Structure 1
């Protein structure tokens, strides 16, 4: 039975207040719209090990390796693998028995001053369901349908929080997880 739909603020706060989850947010393009929610609601120090925006292509290549396309599933996968591996490498000695590590990443092109017509991105999570588990992964392609850049950024932040919440609390019920991705959004966004 589906739970009551929480608003985005409540979902981010519930994640921040749960001591199990700790990891990295890596966002390229369209700003730091997902991690911003976790900072805004408070308690992010218990959830966010690192937040990074490798906006410049050369900087992104230096971290994640060369990419022919920056808004692509391949770039997203490189981000997820690198950031998750780094969290485990740096933090497992102290936290592995009590922490479920995660990496959230997105690479997005949203409406900007130069125009364009294809506003989309790739978003994903690599996460442990329980401490010391092998990681699971969720990857998805998102279309940004709003006309204004600020509305696209808002929608991106909401769907990103929904993805984190779904991965952490609904991964055992895939149908509910998929349905929850549109919580507090419509298919027109």
Structure 2
């Protein structure tokens, strides 16, 4: 029997409707495309604890680099985002959530095509998650080159890639 292929919206909805999944989404640079998918799918209030977009470089440095300047679209920045957001999520909400909660953080730091189209879109995406509440967190990190010649298409790709990455972490 063939398994149905789920759309990005249906994957986001399945995550939203599972009361065990609860997390934070932190997106820098490419818009808030992954959070948008969760909100548009419906039921996000049961899944999303916080969304954040530290678009301004100074805010990004304060939040994720202890106030020091650093590379913004880099694996190192992404790893800091995942670690800091996961620690905050678990320490803030861990005591008040059900014991079977599987916390997750999705983060990305992305450069999409600029207005003058003088750059190449690319970025780092990752998920820090617990497959079960008693286990240590796992981390998945990927790099993506955004090959579309349109910023809106790159944002769509970013959103779909993020939803698929989160879905895969919990289902495969």
Measured against the shorter chain, the TM-score band is: over 0.9
Q: Which residue of 2 aligns with 1:120?
A: 122
RMSD: 1.4
How many correspondences in the alignment?
A: 170
| Structure-1-length-normalised TM-score | 0.86
Distance 2:102 2:17 in 1: 14
Residue 133 (structure 1) aligned with residue 135 (structure 2):
yes
Distance 2:145 2:19 in 1: 32
- Pairing of 1:1-189 with structure 2 (within 5 A): 3-65=3-65, 66-95=68-97, 97-170=99-172
Stretches of structure 2 that go unaligned for 5 or more consecutive residues are none
Query: How big is the shift at 1:98?
Result: 2.0
Q: Does the 8 A contact of 1:25 with 1:52 survive in 2?
A: yes
What is the DSSP-based 3-state SS (H/G/I as helix, E as strand, rest coil) of the residue aligned with 1:76?
helix
What is the DSSP-based 3-state SS (H/G/I as helix, E as strand, rest coil) of the residue aligned with 2:105?
strand
| Structure-2-length-normalised TM-score | 0.95
Runs of 4+ in 1 over 6 A off after TM superposition: none
What do the CA deviations read for 1:82-134 (whole angstroms, capped 9, x no partner)? 00000001011112612011110000000121432221000000000011321
Distance 2:88 2:110 in 1: 22
Stretches of structure 1 that go unaligned for 5 or more consecutive residues are 171-189
